[in-house]
Amino acid sequence: MADQELDVLGIGNAIVDVIARAEDDFLAREKLAKGSMSLIDEARTISLYDAMGPGTIISGGSAANTIVGVSSLGARAGFIGKVKADDLGHAFTHDIRAMGVHFTTPAAHGGPSTARCLILVTPDGERTMNTFLGACQNLTAADVDAAQVSNARITYLEGYLWDPPAAKEAFVKAADIAHAAGREVALTLSDSFCVDRYRDEFLGLIRGGKVDIVFANEHELKALFQTADFDTAVAALREEKALGVVTRSAQGSIVVTRGETIAAPAFPIEQLVDTTGAGDLFAAGFLAGLTRGVDHHTCARLGALAAAEVIQHYGARPEKNLLDLARDNGLI
Amino acid sequence: MADQELDVLGIGNAIVDVIARAEDDFLAREKLAKGSMSLIDEARTISLYDAMGPGTIISGGSAANTIVGVSSLGARAGFIGKVKADDLGHAFTHDIRAMGVHFTTPAAHGGPSTARCLILVTPDGERTMNTFLGACQNLTAADVDAAQVSNARITYLEGYLWDPPAAKEAFVKAADIAHAAGREVALTLSDSFCVDRYRDEFLGLIRGGKVDIVFANEHELKALFQTADFDTAVAALREEKALGVVTRSAQGSIVVTRGETIAAPAFPIEQLVDTTGAGDLFAAGFLAGLTRGVDHHTCARLGALAAAEVIQHYGARPEKNLLDLARDNGLI
């Protein structure tokens, strides 16, 4: 395993999603901010679960979703993350391996249960996420396999890793190993509230050269640079050394370097069902494009295609083979 | 609870479905008979799960699906079935209660885990089911609450209850209590292979007056009367004392009594996604109609409407509110 070269190695919180439909007044009653990701403790997890409707359980986790998308696009993918050896941990492990992803992080045999995210999808397709981190809190630097990171062309890290206390050490260790091996490191800012929690540290990672590629949506970018104006945020991003990739929902995406800004449109969709995983799958398409050596515009179109697939059904992992879909759309 | 009158009380195997897409050659490789329900042991459950693709976990169980449909149609519904107190048992309990169903059977704290059904859905929408009965084997007559059965207008039992050894005693006890209280008892034949396993016992139940209403699809009916000819099977059914309700997929259904046969068409659908739950939801609509006191043709149309909803998405439980759907279609 460690000797095999990977295109993309993701490190993130290993989470199982519990998805339920909900009306807007349910969100109001439960005091949930639509579209956000909130961290909840075990007691709140139980009370919110009791209050919500019937759930569909599907493997999730932001970086894990991305890595599954990368694999579905035909690239060699690996994942590092921590589950517990319980029913949901077993399901997570099965599902990611069934998509061809190398996943060998040992499951915890004690401590909190496998992480779950209670996702409420409103009739407008927007998702509101409530995450119980559980076993993710047991991910440590010891779980980072140095040989695996050294052999991965891109190591992809999620900002959410800053939430469980020990995981940020795993993050930094992986970034350092990757760079020592001449590899690239990518970071997704994850969520605007996550940026608010860790703004200085994220800026430190970017300015300290720990990350080479930054994925953000417009809310996260504005939060990072503490501005309400998108153009101001993009101008600030342009001053950073990293390659910036910014998604704008139906308005498509832009790729920002010092020298230029490349805009790419979104793919048309028939019906918006559930936005969960849109950003994750955009990153999957973009990363798969990078490892295939295509230009940034095509990378962004691959991202848009993968995002369009995932928002037309419930769950944050692709239901169709994305490589076939990319071929059908002339992108590969 | 026991003092509250229910419209329909279901007794069945409490099962969580693990649904995955599969190609026809996967079924061939795994030697699975398309469209059937096979019982599998724990070792086979593990090996089949390892071989199949990523799964979506949704609460299932034949009678449980029916009861959820009955509740979604606005009737007062209850369920008796056995889960273990594990993650999947917790999910099953949450999901059925979240649909307004009275479910109070105590979970097992030892023994095998909550039952799961590995369901492979082929591109034609057909489902092939592989059931590990697990904790269902711990359902006994002691789990049948006499007061609850006495207070239910219809007790609905699934033929699959003949598979776990102790459950048939629970079935017979419930039927006797219901009849002693002047209530009705309904049976679904469940599956043609199930009929093959227990033909004499099912015929004994019908002829012994233990059941008043029999639900079957055409395969099950032909298996029951050991004939390849549908009309011959219907003629045999007509000679029995029970009310017969026979579903024929896209050809609709017929309601058979000694005096007459009433045919009702299926509802048109836009796209067949997954036939899992079609028969269960047909029974839900029919039973809800009976408890509302509408004529048999309207009962059959309610069944057809509920079945049409459930086959247009993955999973065997309704995603839409069936009462609203029935109103929109002028059936209520």
The sheet with strand A243-247 has its strands ordered as: A102-103, A77-80, A6-11, A152-158, A184-188, A213-217, A243-247, A253-256, A261-264
Residues of chain B neighbouring A65 (CB-CB closer than 8 A): none
Residue-wise pLDDT for B130-145, tens only, equals 999 999 999 999 999 9
The residue with tokens 């779980």 is A143
B200 inside domain: yes
Count of structural domains, chain A: 1
Q: Is residue A282 part of a domain?
A: yes
ipTM: 0.93
Would you state the pLDDT for residue B291? 98
| Domain presence at residue B207 | yes
> Does some domain include residue B273?
yes
Q: Name beta bridge partners: B256.
A: B244, B261
A215 is a domain residue: yes
Interface of A with B (CB under 8 A): 18, 21, 49-50, 52-59, 68, 86-88, 91, 94-96, 98-99, 113, 315, 317, 319
Nearest Cα to Cα of residue B19 among B275, B224, B247, B195? B275
**Digit-coded pLDDT (tens) for A262-288:** 999 999 999 999 999 999 999 999 999
A-B contacts (CB, under 8 Å)? 57
> Is residue A40 assigned to a domain?
no
Measured between CA atoms, the residue of chain B closest to residue A313 is: B313
User: Over the stretch A75-130, which tens digit does the pLDDT of each residue have?
Assistant: 999 999 999 999 999 999 999 999 999 999 999 999 999 999 999 999 999 999 99
DSSP A312: T
Residues 6+ apart with CB under 8 A from B110: none
pLDDT tops 60 at residue A1: no
Min distance B108 CA to chain A CA atoms (Å): 16
Best mutation site among A45, A47, A56 for testing chain B: the one with the most B CBs within 10 Å? A56
Question: What digits encode the pLDDT tens for the residues A233-246?
Answer: 999 999 999 999 99
Task: Please give the Cα distance from B164 to B122 (Å, whole number).
Answer: 28
Residue A195: inside a domain, yes or no? yes
Task: Please report residues of B whose CB lies closer than 8 A to that of A94.
Answer: 49-50, 54-55
CATH of the domain at B185: 3.40.1190.20
pLDDT of residue B1: 45
pLDDT of residue B63: 98
Distances (CA, A) of A204 to A174, A181, A211: 16, 21, 10
Handedness of CA B296, B299, B305, B309 (dihedral sign): negative
Which of A58, A86, A96 minimises the CB distance to B87? Answer: A86
Report the alpha-carbon distance of residue A123 to residue A115 in Å, rounded: 26
| Among candidate residues A116, A173, A114, the one with its CA nearest the CA of residue A146 | A173
Q: To the nearest whole number, what is the mean pLDDT of chain A?
A: 97
Examine residue A39 and state whether it is found in any structural domain, yes or no: no
- All residue ranges of chain B with pLDDT < 70 are 1-3
Q: Please state at what angle helix B278-292 crosses helix B296-310, rounded to 10 degrees.
A: 150
Its domain, for residue A296, covers 6-13+61-112+134-328
Coil, helix or strand for A295?
coil
What is the predicted pLDDT for the residue at B219? 97
Cβ distance B202 to B224 under 8 Å? yes
Query: Minimal CA–CA distance to B269: which of B224, B329, B309?
Result: B309
pTM above 0.80, yes or no: yes
- pLDDT computed for residue A4 by the predictor: 78
